[in-house]
Each structure stands twice: as structure tokens, then as C-alpha cells.
Amino acid sequence: MNCPLCHSLNLTEYFNTTEKVFKLPKQRTYKACAQCSLVFLIPSQRLGPAKEKLRYDVHENNLEQQGYKNFLMQVWEPLKQHINAPAHGLDFGSGPTRALAELIEADGIKMETYDPFFKPEFEVKKYDFITCTEVLEHVFNLNLVLNKLDELLKPGGHLAIMTELLTCKINFAKWRYREDDTHVCFFKEDTFKYISEKYSFKWVYFDKQRVILFKKSVS
């Protein structure tokens, strides 16, 4: 078994439990990577694509819900300080709606969206910025996805990531974020440091909770 981010074999068991899901026992085994600090659910316990999509089909997030709009603004508010029109952004992993894209377009910025389940076709080009909100925790092969994001991002462009940070203060056994069975990868601050170094991304914003903003090197 390799780490899905850095492919290291230097793994240790992080957490192991048997939980009841719909009254049936279900094994949960998580590994931690010594190289990049990622914590992840072992591959054999992940949902298959059909069951995964069923979970996403019940999401009803839209901008008419003020709470959801405020949630998305946690990403767009710091990101838009670095974006000037004309610019073209990509919302990677947009889900069944264009909520974040519409929020950004309201500020005069052109947006494209991509989602493997709901909008698999998109314009393949270099983007001025990419948003990736509540996405990476669902991704099985992080290495491939981050390589793709790097490829799609212009030099000097920005990558905005939202995913709830795993810190030493969190009780992993009772963590709400872990209990979502579509969440398979969990990031620590050191994991983002590894990503920054590997892809030559400079940190320009980090709220220490769930939002990090990178700027890609121009060289």
C-alpha cells in the first residue's frame, strides 16, 4: 500500500475501529504517512463510484441558502484580493451546482466548472486561478489530481483549497468530518507544507482551519 499523495510506503496505523452504518458493522482503518503526514482510509474500505454518487445526489447546496453562501465566501473573500478582471477561473470538483462559480461570476470573473460525476467535460487550458472547495478529502489518487491542477494553473496563478484541517486538538474517533464515508483523505498543516514544496507553491493565505491559498511559482 502506498500513500495516495506522495506514494511513500512509510505508513503507520493511525486509527482502527468497527462502526455501525445503517445498523450494520463496518470496518474503518486509517493509515498515516510519515513523509507527507496525510491520513487516509485504506483503499479496500472506500465506497464504489455508484454509492459515492448517491451520497452527492442528495446535496442541495445553493446560493439562496445564506449559510452556504457564507461558507463559500471563506474561500472567495481572501482569493479575490489576488484576482483582477479579466481573469478565467476553474472550479474543480464543483458538485451538482455552479454555486461557487456563480458567486465569483457576480464579481465579473469568468468561470469554468468541472466535476467527475456531474460535469466531466470542461475547457482544458491554463487558468488564472483554480478553486477546489470540499473536494480533496474525497479524492482517491491525490498525486494524479494535484499534478493535473498544477498542469492547469498558469505560472503565477492561484490555487484555493478548502478542506477541514486535521489538528492535534481533534478527537479523530468522534470527528464529524471523518464520519462522512465519502471522506477518505485528511490533511494536516505539514501535508500542505509537503504540497507547497513539491509543486513550488507559495503560501499567501492560511486560516489554520480549512482554507489555504497557494500562488504558483513563475519559474
Q: Which residues pair with 111 in a beta bridge?
A: 89
- CATH classification at residue 57: 3.40.50.150
The answer as to whether 56 is a domain residue is: yes
Report yes or no on 84 lying in a domain. Answer: yes
**6 inside domain:** no
- 115: in domain: yes
Does residue 58 form part of some domain? yes
Domain membership flag for residue 1? no
pLDDT values of the chain reduced to their tens digit, one per residue, 219 residues = 999 999 999 999 999 998 776 566 788 999 999 999 999 999 999 999 898 988 888 776 777 788 888 999 999 999 999 998 899 999 999 998 899 999 999 999 999 999 999 999 999 999 999 999 999 999 999 999 999 999 999 999 999 999 999 999 999 999 999 989 899 999 999 999 999 999 999 999 999 999 999 999 997
Contact 28, 18 (CB under 8 A): yes
In a domain, residue 209? The reply is: yes
- Helical H segments across the chain, by residue range: 49-57, 66-79, 99-105, 142-152, 176-179, 189-199
Angle at 102 between CA 126 and CA 214, to 5 degrees: 45
User: What is the domain extent for residue 193?
Assistant: 11-216
Asked, for residue 2, whether it belongs to a domain, the answer is no
Determine the pLDDT at residue 13.
97
Looking at the 3D structure of the chain, how many domains does it have?
Answer: 1
**Grid coordinates 478582471 are at which residue?**
85
